[in-house]
Structure 1
Amino acid sequence: MTLDRRALLTSAAGVAAAGLLAGCGGKDLDDLLTQAATVPREPARLTWWVSEIPSRRGAVVADLIIRAFERRHPLVRVSKINALSTSDGNRSAIATQLAGGSPQPDVYLGDTTWPAQFGHASLALPVETLLPTGFWDAFPAALRDSSTFRGSAYAVPFFTDSTYLFYRKDLLAKHGLRTPRSWEELLHTSRTVQRAGDVETGFLWQAGVSESLTANVTEFLADAGAEVLDARGRAVLGGAEAERAFSLMADFTAHGVSPRTVATYKESDSQDAFANGRGLFLRNWSYAWVNASNPKVSHVSGRIAATLRPGFEGTGRSGVSCAGGWSNFVNPSSQELGAAVEFARFCAGSEVQRLLAQEAGVIPAMTSVLSGPQARAAGDPTVLRAADLRLVARPVQTPYYPQVSKALYTPANAVVRGSLSPSAGVRAAREGLRTALEGKAL
């Protein structure tokens, strides 16, 4: 079987490659997997495309990992290539580079939403047969699902990112209010504290026209018990459950609990507003705890807490989190496939996973590490409560995921802005999903 580098689908940033792209020098996939299965016994050099990893104590986490790997493999030297700061920007940049057959980077850090798109386009080496038996037993099922396309894994777990409800514990205590157990209660609690003049905004989240909103929509739909795609990958979004989720997004802005500007917010916007004391509640990824609890950058340090996201009244569902995070992918054009696969596996191993728990402001992907001494010593509630989450995957198991994501976030943003009713937003999303899954969307 020869690797066929198919047309890379249009990304959210507008990068497209039409027609068949250059293969890996015409190499046979079996030959590539044979090379990848052997760690080199002579000097080798690797490049790792990696973005900055949040740090708990100021260390450059990527450098710590590289040094640990080089101690285990003294013949291999690893250098970094600094990746971009956003998922969409990274996807476009790395896809453009790999589509031309570049042998570098050998390993690249990518979002958990990428495997189907990159696997379909032959921009990532299928690694399923290169992983030891029982490998996936150490990781959440949702992570394996998002890493797999048509029965093969195209990504090796590194760290996960989950979402939580961060809140001002001092303000809840002042008003004798408990942590909300439902979205309806959160709306009421927010208005109570806002009317008292103690906070400007009740609930901060991300509703800008981007992947950030897709993650939020995925969670609200799961809260309500609404499906996006069925087991066969067909769009089935609809019904009272989906409308309940879209109505909640409209209620946040309609009742003034969220500012109208939330329709432009991404993660950093909402996090900055919360750290500056403008919000009572914040939905954000786990790394927000490190930033909001740092007295050097946060005005609310020492006055915040984190808990699982609430659910809707009467559903019995709470603690839902979108399954996020970053994994390592292997460039099939790498000249050092054996070393590249070994590095990706090393990052998924217990040594690095414990290092992440101790040094990084992210959640280790390996489940057992979450209850280990490094996680407990970190004292981060997002790590300590990670095992309690109900992880849900975005509809990523399609090479058309960028278009699928757009089909969700575009009407959802219109609902938040008030220019589309919740029922109309659900209908628009369903039709957009169907078009996207047929490969007809831009």
Structure 2
Amino acid sequence: MRWVHTAGRGLLVLAVILSGYVASGARADEAALTGRGPLTLATAGDLTGYLGPLLEGWNRTHPGERVTLVELPDSADETRAQMATDLKDGDRNRFDVLNIDVNWTSEFAAAGWVRALPPDRFPLDAFLPPVVDTATYDGRLYAVPYVTNAGLLLYRKDVLDAEGVPPPRTWAELERAARTVAPKYGLDGYAGQFLPYEGLTVNVAEAVYSAGGSILGGEGTRVTVNSAAAREGIAFLARGVREGWIPKESLTYKEEESKEAFRNGRLLFLRNWPYAYVAASEASSPVAGKIGAVPLPGPDGPGTSVLGGSNLAVSAHARHPDSAARLITYLTSEPVQRQVLTQGALPPVRSALYEDPDLIRDFPYLPTLRASVLAAAPRPKSPRYDQVSLVVQAVVDDAMTGHESPSSAVRRLARELAAVSAR
């Protein structure tokens, strides 16, 4: 994802999307959000424990619409599997509102598991523009952005300052520092999330997008990965492992393992989500006060991050759809979104919070994160996203471990993704 969006362009895109909704009028399934009563909210494990108190605030003021929180496993793959199993049960499903990973929206919408929503029920114009696109499928709104995320490049500021080296803006600058500066300080050069799981798909998409390429187009109906840009992005990752400035150990890293490697002072550079910056800044961290964060680099300048985060969707079989919509409005309100950041350390979707001086003082990465989100792009949209991701993981793992050349890997990706799209 080469970041070509600007804030103005993002607002224009959002305006076009919303005008399309208005022009078409509310469709029957979008307007049928009637009925109030108790709700169940399903989410992946709440690692920071912030969500329970937020829902207690709702329950105090909405006693007839009390929410029961159901926490599913921490693993995204396991959470998705449990949600899918429940949603397939139709009228017997347990969940009314679902906190879903942004890349599940298309799959859940195409399967008919979640409702199309009327855009005018929600404060979409107050959100960072790119996050709204993650909640749409086939031109309709099927979820509401709740938290967002973008990958950042974390770096050892003390080490780069000692060497008189600025934080990298390009891949060449990153490689040079990872090869020459890191060993002088007993550090590994660069790591991301390179175990074959969803995190590898994210890192690959960022590399391909940063080089100006793409993986899928047309809501997953076209395979676009067979390009020079994709070869360049995958070659960047494979070359790093081959030359050693990406440590082989990082081929076993997920978010937590890579965060700990950086937090414990073993890496010069790390691609991760902002929560890793917060963890490395804690008083107990050996690198507290010694780190910085910049946008991900690309071949010729700042690269492109994949949008992370989660969206709130209403089950197609929700018992009380109006209450579900009202809960979503509450969870995306300004006061609650502020708490999402301050209590949960999760990036909010409301644009104004990124310009709040008090929040910037406590979370100094916010301006960098805002720029990254505004320039970010979603993962490939597809109703078969789980299969798309598995193909990307398997093929690129072979390239990074030296079992396949980047050129061969791109050709294989094109073939296997075409087979997925044809199913």
TM-score (ref. length: structure 1)? 0.84
Residues in 1 aligned to 2:214 and 2:44: alpha-carbon distance in whole angstroms = 33
Tell me if 1:354 matches 2:338. yes
Check 1:75–1:426 CA distance in 2 against 1; reply closer, same or farther (3 A cut). same
Match of residue 36, structure 1, among 30, 33, 37: 33
In structure 1, the partner of 2:367 is 384
How far residue 386 of structure 1 moved from its aligned partner, in angstroms, is: 2.3
Asked if the contact 2:217/2:380 (under 8 Å) is kept, the reply is no
In structure 2, the partner of 1:394 is 379
Residues in 2 aligned to 1:225 and 1:159: alpha-carbon distance in whole angstroms = 26
Tell me if 1:93 matches 2:82. yes
Unmatched runs of 5 consecutive residues or more in structure 1: 1-28
Residues in 1 aligned to 2:228 and 2:164: alpha-carbon distance in whole angstroms = 34
Matches within 5 A, 1:48-87: 48-53=41-46, 55=48, 60-87=49-76
Tell me if 1:105 matches 2:95. yes
What is the number of residues matched between the two proteins?
A: 393
Asked if the contact 1:319/1:388 (under 8 Å) is kept, the reply is no
Residues in 1 aligned to 2:311 and 2:197: alpha-carbon distance in whole angstroms = 21
Task: Encode CA deviations 1:344-389: one digit per residue, 9 max, x unaligned.
Answer: 22212222112223322111012222112453242331x2322212
In structure 2, the partner of 1:427 is 411
Letter of the 2:115 counterpart: L
In structure 2, the partner of 1:209 is 196
Matches within 5 A, 1:266-415: 266-296=254-284, 298-313=285-300, 317-373=301-357, 375-381=359-365, 383-389=366-372, 390-396=375-381, 398-415=382-399
Match of residue 110, structure 2, among 109, 113, 120: 120
Aligned with 1:124: secondary structure? coil
Residues in 1 aligned to 2:100 and 2:272: alpha-carbon distance in whole angstroms = 20
Runs of 4 or more off by more than 3 Å in structure 1? 32-35, 51-55, 230-233
How far residue 52 of structure 1 moved from its aligned partner, in angstroms, is: 4.4
Residues in 1 aligned to 2:139 and 2:61: alpha-carbon distance in whole angstroms = 31
Check 1:76–1:134 CA distance in 2 against 1; reply closer, same or farther (3 A cut). closer
How far residue 227 of structure 1 moved from its aligned partner, in angstroms, is: 2.2
Letter of the 1:36 counterpart: L
Residues in 2 aligned to 1:103 and 1:134: alpha-carbon distance in whole angstroms = 25
How far residue 125 of structure 1 moved from its aligned partner, in angstroms, is: 1.7
Question: Which has the bigger relative contact order, CA under 8 A and spacing at least 6?
Answer: 2
In structure 2, the partner of 1:13 is none
**RMSD, matched Cα:** 2.1
In structure 2, the partner of 1:223 is 210
Letter of the 1:257 counterpart: W
Greater CA deviation, 87-96 or 70-79? 70-79
Residues in 1 aligned to 2:58 and 2:252: alpha-carbon distance in whole angstroms = 41
Letter of the 1:177 counterpart: V
How far residue 68 of structure 1 moved from its aligned partner, in angstroms, is: 2.7
Task: Choose between structure 1 and 2: higher helix proportion.
Answer: 2
In structure 2, the partner of 1:15 is none
In structure 1, the partner of 2:131 is 143
Greater CA deviation, 215-224 or 231-240? 231-240
Letter of the 2:368 counterpart: R
Asked if the contact 1:357/1:378 (under 8 Å) is kept, the reply is no
Asked if the contact 2:196/2:397 (under 8 Å) is kept, the reply is yes
Greater CA deviation, 77-86 or 223-232? 223-232
Letter of the 2:380 counterpart: P
Check 1:371–1:72 CA distance in 2 against 1; reply closer, same or farther (3 A cut). farther
Asked if the contact 1:103/1:335 (under 8 Å) is kept, the reply is no
